Amino acid sequence: MIDVDKCRITRYPEAVLGQPAKPVEKIDETIRRLVEKMTDIMIENKGMGLAAPQAGVGLRLFIVSMDGSREQVRAYVNPTVTPAGDLDEAGEGCLSVPGIYPKIRRHKRATVTATDLDGREFTEEAEGLYARCLQHESDHLDGMTILNRMGAAAKIANRRQIKKLTDKHEGK
């Protein structure tokens, strides 16, 4: 059972961020409330996307709002994201890994197939920042963060911030 009221932003290295998420069995009032709570968390933290593991819930669900507004939020339940096209390298941030903005290589295009909150399946083609956002949120559902995608040089350059997050998690 999900306690939506206890949901909050999870930060690296919390375990839920490193584990593959489980499929959503049914879209019910709890899932709709979770999406509302995730929207609040995303907007409060000035993000444009948030995956359920980032709210402490290990389910295959994420939201995206390309302009960061509540009105544009779209929920993606049990999504499949298929990257396509050339690779592009760009700076990327993550609400669960604050203070780190490495250059991440991602495909310029992606196709997403998911279910909406009304139980309807949809498929969309995405390009540019939208495609990058879908790939980023999809990574969270597979137990990955931008730290898994960073090169060795970026890990060295960000080692102090990574250590700070780890120490904070361990209560040091």
Is 89 known to be catalytic? no
Cβ of 145: how many Cβ atoms within 10 Å?
22
User: Pick the catalytic residue: 29, 125, 137, 170?
Assistant: 137
CB half-sphere exposure, 1, CA atoms < 13 A: 2
Q: Are 2 and 34 in contact (CB under 8 A)?
A: yes
The helix, strand and coil proportions of the chain, stated in percent and rounded to the nearest 5, come to 35, 25, 35
Q: Are 125 and 107 in contact (CB under 8 A)?
A: no
Phi, psi of 14 (to 5 degrees): -55, 140
How far apart CA 71 and CA 74 sit, in angstroms, is: 9
Residue 107 known to bind ligand: no
Q: Which residues are part of a known binding site?
A: 94, 136, 140
Q: Which residues are part of a known binding site for Fe cation?
A: 94, 136, 140
**Catalytic positions:** 137
